Amino acid sequence: MKKSTKDHNNEQAPARDRDSLFQVERINEDFVFDDRVAQVFDDMLDRSVPCYQEVILSIARILGCLLQEGAQVVDLGCATGTTLLQLSRLLEEKKFSYLGVDNSPAMLDKARLKAELFSRQESVSFINGDIKEVAQPGTEAFLLNYTLQFIRPLNREPFLRRIFNNLCPGGVLILSEKTISHHPGLNRRYIEIYHQFKKERGYSELEIAKKREALENVLIPCSLEENRTLLQTAGFTEVEPFFQWFNFVSFLAVKPST
């Protein structure tokens, strides 16, 4: 993955607003990807998702090895487009086409602005839509990063099967998720480690507690084993974790070539 020196030197991310959404005593609603969240989302990701940049770099390594030049990469739940814009820089020589799909206009507005600032409009595009209704047949790679956990559990298997059916033979799905452990002691320890991670990045105890409260009815994680089973049930025959940090896991799932 040859990095463009020009891009590396000139592509400076716009100043990010710091996430302070949960510096309040009371939360009156569930977490929603609205204008307020979009404004601080990039900061929220960097401070809330462990090894976020390393996961993107790992994804770039996988796509660079497995996909042919000119392949289409579709990010479902693309938010502000950070992953696709990073991939388009890291894999510039592969000439992939990138499509981001999200149902939040506020997120997409920011994604398009960033694509314009980084001069990536020719290779990276975004559409507003329900990812559960994805219709991109022949796609070589789908990305589903920290998104499946926001879909109701009963809808996850048909959604993954739809992704599988839209992939070309030999295509790949990359899935990153927050997970739970069915061992109560370990699960509790992993949550404590994660909360310590967030405190080290400037979140207060109040912010951590309030965000957890807001996400309680929205983000429903599965275990590593349950996610693997969902992928296998959808039709993927090769399913392996390629990255794990305590209760965060990234999977590579490959559709059979025949």
Kindly report the three-state secondary structure assignment for every residue of 112-159. HHHHHHCCCCCCEEEEECCHHHCCCCCEEEEEEECCHHHCCHHHHHHH
User: Closest by alpha carbon to 175, among 154, 158, 156, 194?
Assistant: 156
Nearest residue to 151 via CA among 203, 197, 220: 220
Per residue of the chain (258 residues), give pLDDT as tens: 444 433 433 444 455 566 544 555 454 555 555 666 677 778 878 889 999 999 999 999 999 999 999 999 999 999 999 999 999 999 999 999 999 999 999 999 999 999 999 999 999 999 999 999 999 999 999 999 999 999 999 999 999 999 999 999 999 999 999 999 999 999 999 999 999 999 998 888 878 787 777 777 788 999 999 999 999 999 999 999 999 999 999 999 999 998
Structure-block tokens of residue 229: 């089973």
Q: Which residue from 179, 192, 154 is spatially nearest to 250, judged by alpha carbons?
A: 179
What would the pLDDT profile of 132-187 be if each residue is shown by its tens digit? 999 999 999 999 999 999 999 999 999 999 999 999 999 999 999 999 999 999 99
Q: What angle do CA 214, 216, 218 make, to 5 degrees?
A: 85
Closest alpha carbon to 196 in 50, 54, 56, 55 = 50
Q: Residue with structure tokens 């993107």? A: 56
What pairs with residue 177 in β-bridges? Answer: 249
Cβ–Cβ under 8 Å, residues 140 and 72 = yes
Q: What is the pLDDT of residues 198-217, one digit of tens each?
A: 999 888 887 878 777 777 77
Domains annotated on the chain, with CATH: 25-254 (3.40.50.150)
Q: Model-level pTM?
A: 0.87
